[in-house]
Amino acid sequence: MAWRRVLRYGRRMSQLVNAPLPGSAAPALVAHGLVKRYGRQPALRGLDLVIDEPGLIALVGPNGAGKSTLLKAWVGLEPPSAGHVAVRGVDPWRDPARAMALIGYVPQAPALYEGFTVGDHLALALSLRRGFDRSYAEQRLRELGVPLDRRAGQLSGGQRAQVGLALALATRARVLLLDEPLASLDPLARREFLHVLVDAVRADGSTALLSSHVVTDIEQACDRLIVLGNGRKLLDASIASALERHAVGSFGASIPRDATLIGDFESAERARIQLWRLGEAGSERLPRATLEEVVLGYLAASRADEITTGKAA
């Protein structure tokens, strides 16, 4: 029938428009004008983000900042309310099969079947995903001392996280999305997890976006920092640049004229601290901020919902 032909044509055209050109290297991850609302509550408010370079990128923000929602939109688990997302130029909501083939995903709580052994999970992944590298996953898990014949329900939190990571890495996907995998791990397990992740990302040259709110861990491991707050991107910079370009000062201290006040927050010692983004001049006079202070400053600013420039102040 004619209308079917029109629909088929429209779908084909849409696939062609969305598909990356042959030989072109579309960015690993793109979010454009991304809006997500849960009822009336906005989780993402017109987010624009492009991630292209290989390496480990930290996505940081408080609970409710929209981190999980953003990752789920890319992985086809949370439909956007407006805007669009793409993985290597493929829209996961129009062509999920192609998009998923490009992604390895580690959810917040490892999605494991309690009654399945670790080996069963690897077999399941192999049956679902073409190109799943089972021997790679087995080798990684053996090295970490995770017994393949043990049921998921009998694994420790750290072991479960490692199984989740092994499943994602063994897909050999060049784009990895990790949704707060460190949240429930003890410091030792966190360190071990990050060690495995960093090794794999560097060896494969893949792009991994790691959502977390444990800032101390990501400072050593990650190359780039993205701070989300109130569903908006507050900061997007390399770790080195974030540390270089931000300084802290107490109230009343003299501030370089071209610095911008980001926000103020309470330190661990209950002193009020201001975070400044530095300009070119006078940057040597202020003590540099730690990564945690950078994140806290931007989150405080997002909470206050305003950024006052140094000149205006």
Partner 1 sequence: MTTTIRLTLKLYRFEIAAVLLASFALAVAALVVARLLDNVGVPAACFAYPGPEGSQPAVCPALRETWSTIGSRFGVRVLQLIGLLPIGAGLLLGAPLLARELERGTAPLPWTLSGSRRRWLLTRAAILGVVLLVALVPVALASERLEASWNPSVDPAKSFLDDNYRGPILIVRGIVTFSVAVLAGLLLGRQLPALIVGFGASVIIVLGGLAMMDRWYDWSAVYEIADSAKNGYADHVMDLLRRAPDGRVLTDEEAGALAPPNPELPPGGIDGTWLDEHFVQVWLLVPGDRYPDAVVVHSGLLLTAGTLAAFASLVLVRRRRPA
What's the half-sphere exposure (Cβ side, CA atoms, 13 Å) at 181?
A: 32
Pick 50 or 128: Cβ nearer partner 1: 128
Among 103, 161, 165, 182, binds partner 1 (CB under 8 A): 103
- List the beta bridge partners of residue 272: 266
**Residue 111 touches partner 1, criterion: CB under 8 A:** yes
Pick 167 or 278: Cβ nearer partner 1: 167
Rounded Cα distance between 110 and 132, Å, is 18
Segment contacting partner 1 (CB under 8 A): 53-61, 99-107, 247-255, 290-298? 99-107
**Residue 148 touches partner 1, criterion: CB under 8 A:** no
**CA dihedral over 260, 261, 263, 268, signed as positive or negative:** positive
What would the two tokens of residue 24 be? 């072109």
Q: Where would I find the H helices in the chain?
A: 2-18, 67-74, 96-100, 118-128, 134-143, 157-169, 187-204, 215-221, 239-244, 291-304
> Which of 46, 51, 113, 102 shows the shortest CA–CA distance to 75?
102
Among 43, 78, 206, 289, binds partner 1 (CB under 8 A): 78
Segment contacting partner 1 (CB under 8 A): 8-16, 69-77, 208-216, 219-227? 69-77
Among 10, 33, 82, 113, binds partner 1 (CB under 8 A): 113
Mode of pairing for the β-strands spanning 272-277 and 246-250: antiparallel
**Residue 19 touches partner 1, criterion: CB under 8 A:** no
Rounded Cα distance between 170 and 120, Å, is 15
Mode of pairing for the β-strands spanning 55-60 and 207-212: parallel
**Residue 239 touches partner 1, criterion: CB under 8 A:** no
Segment contacting partner 1 (CB under 8 A): 40-48, 90-98, 185-193, 229-237? 90-98
**Residue 26 touches partner 1, criterion: CB under 8 A:** no
**Residue 175 touches partner 1, criterion: CB under 8 A:** no
In single-letter form, the type of residue at position 113 comes to Y
Task: State the first-to-last Cα distance of the chain, in angstroms, to the nearest integer.
Answer: 68
CA distances from 238 to 90, 165, 219, 223, 262 (A): 26, 24, 11, 6, 18
Segment contacting partner 1 (CB under 8 A): 53-61, 71-79, 198-206, 220-228? 71-79
Is residue 309 exposed (0-12), middle (13-18) or buried (19+ Cβ within 10 Å)?
exposed
Segment contacting partner 1 (CB under 8 A): 97-105, 188-196, 276-284, 297-305? 97-105
Q: Which of residues 246-305 bind partner 1 (CB under 8 A)?
A: none
Segment contacting partner 1 (CB under 8 A): 106-114, 226-234, 275-283, 296-304? 106-114
**Residue 193 touches partner 1, criterion: CB under 8 A:** no
- Each residue 115-144 as x (binds partner 1 by CB under 8 A) or -, in order, gives xx---xx-xxxxxxx--x------------
The residue ranges that bind partner 1 (CB under 8 A) are 75-79, 93, 96-101, 103, 105, 107, 109, 111-116, 120-121, 123-129, 132, 167, 171
